[in-house]
Chain A
């Protein structure tokens, strides 16, 4: 069946611009996660949704980062006033419940120039 889909796969933007990254989770998965991964490092937790609500947003680095999941399915990670330090691979994962294994997408590689 279809896995987690993330678009775009690559995004290049200029410093100061606004970007949106999209995640289509596996159908029926109520739990959705956003992670950020830098080269040579493990994924860094950003935010967790249970249904439509952000149950844990403790990983968002600052108020330039925001994520939504209005209908409990597709989620969008939004980054305002991008900085070069935001450059990384942004990973989305979903699971049927919080205790179940995570299913990851292949990520969006964000490059801020």
Chain B
């Protein structure tokens, strides 16, 4: 199972674009990269998933370079309500996920 590494915490300001980078050096050929968001006292919520290049939905974009050893979650124009913990995970061919401690993102006014 591929282990992921991401910053423990990040700060930004309302209206800014936030990029959270995740390292997954030993990612396997069939692994997908998945990101979840978690607010206090709630369960994690799926944000986006990708295999390579760029994936975009109404919430975020996910950039995965050709070597797939890292990925970047991009949140456009963040607001205070984007303050949360963000988890980067690699899903292997057996659909198993390993959760790290995530990145605590704090958005300031």
Residues of chain B at interface, number, CB under 8 A: 18
Known: A91-B43, A103-B46. A42 touches B101 (CB 8 A): yes
In the complex, which range does the number of interface residues on chain A fall in? 10 to 19
Q: Among the listed A4, A40, A98, A101, which residue makes an inter-chain contact with B101, where contact means beta carbons less than 8 Å apart?
A: A40
* A66 at the binding interface (Cβ < 8 Å): no
Known: A43-B99, A45-B97. A101 touches B49 (CB 8 A): yes
B101 contact set on A, CB distance < 8 A = 40-42
A106 contact set on B, CB distance < 8 A = 41-43
Known: A98-B95, A101-B49. A42 touches B43 (CB 8 A): no
* B44 at the binding interface (Cβ < 8 Å): yes
Known: A93-B43, A104-B45, A106-B42. A42 touches B95 (CB 8 A): no
* B34 at the binding interface (Cβ < 8 Å): yes
Chain A's closest residue to B46 (CB) is A101
A4 contact set on B, CB distance < 8 A = 43
The 9 closest A-B pairs by CB, nearest first: A104-B43, A42-B99, A101-B46, A98-B95, A43-B99, A91-B43, A106-B42, A104-B44, A42-B100
Instruction: Kindly list 15 other residue pairs between chains A and B, CB separation below 8 angstroms, not including A35-B99, A106-B43.
Output: A4-B43, A40-B101, A42-B99, A42-B101, A43-B44, A45-B99, A91-B43, A91-B44, A102-B44, A102-B46, A104-B43, A104-B45, A105-B43, A107-B42, A107-B43
